[in-house]
Amino acid sequence: MNPAFQGLLTIAIGVGGCLSYFYFSNQFLDKVLFPARGPNAGKNINRANLVRPWLFLLPAIFALGLYLAYPVVETIRLSLTERQTLSDGTTIYNFVGLANYAQMSADPKFWEALINNMLWLIVVPAMSTAFGLLAAQLTDRIAWGNIAKSLIFMPMAISFVGAAVIWKLVYDARPPGSEQIGVLNAVYVWLTGNDPQQWLTTPFWNSFLLMIVLIWIQTGFAMVILSAALRGIPEETIEAAIVDGANPFQIFFKIKMPQIAGTIVVVWTTITLVVLKIFDIVFAMTNGQWGTQVLANYMFNQLFVARDWGVGSASAMVIMLLVTPILYWNVRNARKEMR
Amino acid sequence: MDNIAGTKSSLTWAVHISVAALVALWLFPTVGLFVSSFRTADQIATSGWWKALFPTEQSLTLRTADPDTQMSVDGVYVIEGNLFTGEDLSDEIDMSAWGTSSRDIGAYAPGDTAELRDGERITVQANGDYRLESPVEMEGSRGQRIFVTAELPPDFTLENYQQVLFSGNATDSMAKAFFNTLTVTIPATIIPIVVAAFAAYALAWMDFPGRALLIAVIVGLLVVPLQLALIPLLKLHLGIGIGKGYLGTWLAHTGFGLPLAIYLLRNYMVGLPRDIIENARVDGATEFQIFTKIILPLSFPALASFAIFQFLWTWNDLLVAKVFLIDATGQTTVMTNQIVELLGTRGGNWEILATAAFVSIAVPLLVFFAMQKYLVRGLLAGSVK
């Protein structure tokens, strides 16, 4: 079957199926199970209203349970087992305790990935938030600020893979003596007169060059959120500061910053989540070679190159562990807001 | 807050200049890719893309006409013509220097006469006209090589797009991948919206025990890394017979998109005016009617916000496609995967890479600029994922 046709059919079945499920289940509830007539009409309406939320929620709960909650449990289990194919072709999973974790911690590539991820976690959210704050503060003051914002925000729409190609061209290196077509080397040769560098294969610094790609993408996000927060600051507090003779820098750091601290934390944690899962950029630009490995790419290699599901699951659990504090913090905040 | 900066005009200028610098810095890499996609492989390899926008001094290697076109005039053998004949160049060429040896390509000025071996003499004019004279009959099958240095105007081509979109070359072709991406994206955007909208309505406007807990769980699931889901779900798909393919990919995208969808839509629906809903209830509308006739139309901005998020995310995704969609035959490759493969096989061919990448980012950029308002609104409402 032609995939495009299959796609249309899926939309029809998916959307039509969902809608008719909701429609008919509601009809069934109101007309057959608890009809709002007869001696028990009042009671039946109440009963129907008790059941109805679950009708509305059922498909979502099913999908969430199967596609997000179950995998968490299953990954924990897989990380404690070893996959073994028997002679008759069936696959069994032997419980091996923490052996996968032990094997992983003996792998220098894992530690390289973990250390790099920590570097990413420090550099990317900090730089993106700082640039975003700078851009938000500056663009709010000028007439063409909205156009400027739109252009800084644009990389958000570009895929990580597309961004990887864009920046690979920037970092491109040609042999010494020939015309440099990568901007970075062109500027470097022009400024220092040294030979051009193979930036992406130079360990340690190449990780930062990959981080720049993500900073470039995430700055726009930080800018949009922080700009809204800056506009929400009550005008009186700033006017009072001006009357008291504060200079623009004091106004920014002493008056505005404390008032948007909450938003800065939200932006920071959101970018942190993106960083923890970062895969495409590293995969497309260096594939973890030359000391640029990160956890998500390490895990991908374990799963689909080494085909070791146990260690792969164990490294996924490490990512989950790193996410957990943010998960806890988000849930706590959400509950606080609900009250 | 113009009044703060407005008091000091020097500061205002500093702001204008810094914003311009910031925008230029952010735009520069993308523009580089865009410009490169309109240049030939030779142009990309010999000069930086930033030079492509201005006339550049380039050196060309050209030839005079073949010896068999020579004519005998007054006992001298002569070949005359224009060096640029047959070259695909515009006519306003003004060469600055020329030479006959690769060791000194700028040896002569236009109008000079150079002595070659065997008593041959050649004169080349600035516009490319040349006259080659020899006392004896010239031999060989090819004309004399001439190196020319000239200022050439910017020159762009659509050939790369032709190659990437219509050539049918399996390794370079993005056309198939483009349609595959579209096939993944559209159902994966629409289905989660429908499922999430009903759930969000229940969480926003129906009272039932466990509601708060359910919302907390959804907020928690928002941040679960999808890396965790890869093996268990692949195992599940293989186990129940879906295998690798579109169906599994649509389901996976639906599952991964649901928490954000429910969260965004619920937050929006909670803010709708209570009166409208209660009036409708009093008038005897069923919950299903309230939802389809009142809530859905009113929630359009939130639905649009999520649709854009999900569209951008599924269009730009690589990991989910690699795990759940692309099988060994490679028939179902998507654009992001195709580009990664091009990076491997065509790592140095920037004309193909740049064009392929631009084809894949053109659609998200269009959506971005057309619907930026909703995107920003969605970001502000649910800056969690």
Domains and CATH numbers, chain A: 3-79 (no CATH), 104-338 (1.10.3720.10)
Residues of B with CB below 8 A from A249's CB?
none
Contact list in A for residue B287 (CB cut-off 8 A) is 26, 52, 56
Cβ neighbours of residue A114 closer than 8 Å, sequence gap 6 or more: A295, A318
C-alpha dihedral sign at B372, B373, B379, B382? negative
Q: Mean pLDDT, chain A, as a whole number? A: 83
Stretch among B5-19, B37-51, B117-131 having the lowest mean pLDDT = B5-19
CB < 8 Å to A49, chain B: 206
Q: Give me the sheet containing B145-152, strands edge to edge.
A: B56-63, B145-152, B94-99
Give the distance from residue B255's alpha carbon to the nearest chain A alpha carbon, in angstroms: 5
Alpha carbons A287 and A113: distance in angstroms, whole number: 12
A5 touches chain B (CB under 8 A): no
A139 inside 8 A of chain B by CB: yes
Contacts of B374 (CB under 8 A, 6+ apart): B301, B304, B305, B308
Q: CB of A326 within 8 Å of any CB in chain B?
A: yes
Please judge whether B32 and A69 are an interchain contact, meaning their C-beta atoms are less than 8 angstroms apart: no
Measured from the Cβ of residue B60, the count of other Cβ atoms closer than 10 Å reads 18
**Beta-bridge partners for A332:** none
Check CB contact under 8 Å for B220 and A30. Answer: no
Q: A62 pLDDT exceeds 80?
A: yes
**Is the Cβ pair A4, B179 closer than 8 Å?**
yes
- Surface of B (69-88) touching A: CB under 8 A: none
CB crowding A232-259: b at 16 or more within 10 Å, else e: eeeeeebeebeeeebebeebbeebbeee
Q: Residue A129's pLDDT is what? A: 92
Name the token pair of B280.
Answer: 């409708």
Kindly state the average pLDDT of the residues A45-61. 81
- Is the pLDDT score of B284 beyond 70? yes
CB atoms within 10 A of CB B68: 11
**Do residues B38 and B129 lie in contact, with contact meaning Cβ atoms separated by under 8 Å?**
no
Residues 18 to 57 of B: which have CB under 8 A from any A CB? 18-20, 22-23, 26-30, 32-33, 36, 44-50
Residue B169's pLDDT is what?
A: 67
Asked if residue B360 lies in contact with residue B174, where contact means CB atoms within 8 angstroms, the answer is yes
Enumerate residues 81 to 110 of chain A having a beta carbon within 8 A of any beta carbon in chain B.
none
pLDDT band at A130 (very low <50, low <70, confident <90, very high): very high
**Residue A3: its pLDDT value, please?**
61
A251 contacts B187? CB cut-off 8 A:
no
**Residue B99 bridge partners (DSSP):** B147
- Both structure tokens of B19: 């914003």
Q: Which residues of A touch B326 (CB under 8 A)?
A: none
pLDDT of residue A214: 92
- Are the Cβ atoms of B199 and A152 closer than 8 angstroms? no
- Measured at the CA of A270, the angle between CA A266 and CA A275, to 5 degrees, comes to 145
Q: What is the mean pLDDT of chain B?
A: 80
CA distances (Å), B25 to each of A131, A152, A183, B20, B50, in order? 12, 9, 12, 9, 13
Q: Which of A7, A18, A61 sits opposite B183 (nearest CB)?
A: A7
- pLDDT score of B7: 52
- What's the pLDDT tens digit per position in B86-126? 665 555 667 778 887 777 777 787 877 887 777 788 888 77
What CA–CA distance (Å, rounded) separates B311 from B352?
26
CA of A309 vs chain B CAs: smallest distance (Å):
8
pLDDT number for residue A128: 92
Q: Residue B24: which residues within 8 A CB-CB, separation 6 or more?
A: none
Which of A57, A121, A226 should we substitute to test contact with B (largest number of B Cβ atoms within 10 Å)?
A: A57
Which residue in B288, B361, B385 is closest to A26 by CB distance? B288
Q: For residues B240 and B242, give the distance between their C-alpha atoms in angstroms, rounded to a whole number.
A: 6
**Per-residue pLDDT tens over the stretch A226-244:** 888 888 888 888 888 888 8
Q: Give the pLDDT mean for B311-331.
A: 85
* Confidence at A127, pLDDT banded by 50, 70, 90: very high
Sheet strands (E) in chain B: 56-63, 71-73, 76-82, 94-99, 113-115, 121-124, 129-134, 145-152
ipTM score of the complex?
A: 0.84
Q: What distance in Å separates the CA atoms of residue B381 and residue B375, rounded to the nearest whole number?
A: 10
Report yes or no: B25 and A154 within 8 Å, Cβ to Cβ: no
Q: What is the pLDDT of residue A308?
A: 81
How far B224 CA sits from the closest chain A CA (Å)?
7
Do A288 and A200 touch, CB atoms closer than 8 A? no
- How far is Cα B204 from Cα B197, in angstroms, rounded to an integer? 10
Tokens encoding B69: 């076109």
Q: Which residues of B309-339 are buried (b: 16+ CB within 10 A; e: fewer)?
A: bbbbbbbbbbbbbbbbbbeeeeebbbbbbbb
**Residue B367's closest chain A neighbor by CA?**
A157
How far is Cα A303 from Cα A315, in angstroms, rounded to an integer? Answer: 10
Chain B residues with CB under 8 Å of A160 CB are 316, 318
**Alpha-carbon distance A51 to nearest alpha carbon in chain B (angstroms):** 9
Q: How far is A25 from chain B (nearest CA, A)?
A: 10
B196-205 pLDDT, tens per residue?
A: 988 888 888 8
Task: Establish if B364 touches chain A: CB-CB under 8 angstroms.
Answer: yes
Q: What is the DSSP letter of A180?
A: P
Task: Over range A51-77, report the average pLDDT.
Answer: 86
At residue A159, the 3 state secondary structure works out as coil
With a CB cutoff of 8 Å and minimum separation 6, the contacts of B340 are A161, A283, A284, B318
A191 touches chain B (CB under 8 A): no
Contact call for A54 and B15, based on CB within 8 A? no
A242 touches chain B (CB under 8 A): yes
Average the pLDDT over B28-37 and give the result: 86
Interface of B with A in 320-349 (CB under 8 A): 322-323, 332, 336, 339-340, 343
Q: Which residue of B has its CA nearest to A303?
A: B231
Nearest to B258 among A60, A266, A319 (CB): A60
With contacts defined as CB-CB under 8 Å, which chain B residues touch A83? none
Q: Are strands A81-85 and B71-73 parallel, antiparallel or unpaired?
A: unpaired
Q: Give pLDDT, residue B1.
A: 46
Rounded percentage of chain B residues whose pLDDT exceeds 90: 1
Mean pLDDT of the region B279-308: 85
Phi, psi of B134 (to 5 degrees): -145, 140
Nearest chain A alpha carbon to B252: A67
- Crossing angle (nearest 10°) for helices A108-139 and A261-276: 140
Chain A segment 141-160 residues within 8 A of B by beta carbon are 141-142, 144-145, 148, 150-160
Quick one: pLDDT band at residue B6, thresholds 50, 70, 90?
Answer: very low
Residue numbers of A between 160 and 189 with CB closer than 8 Å to B: 160-162, 164-170, 172, 179-183, 186
- What residues contact residue B43 under an 8 Å CB cut-off, 6+ apart? B52, B155
Q: Quick check: A316 and B180 CB within 8 A?
A: no
Supply the pLDDT for residue B88. 57
Q: For B331-349, what is the mean pLDDT? A: 80
Which string of b and e fits B263-287 if b means at least 16 CB within 10 Å?
bbbbbbbeebeeeebeebeeeebbb
Give pLDDT, residue B5: 46
- A 10 A CB-CB count for A27 gives 13
End-to-end alpha carbon distance in chain B: 31
Do the Cβ atoms of B383 and A334 come within 8 Å? Answer: no
Tell whether the model's pLDDT for residue A98 goes beyond 50.
yes
Q: Do B232 and A52 touch (CB under 8 A)?
A: no
Chain A neighbors of B319, CB-CB under 8 A: 279-280, 300
Contact call for B30 and A166, based on CB within 8 A: yes
> Residue A252 is which amino acid?
F
B270 near A CB under 8 A: no
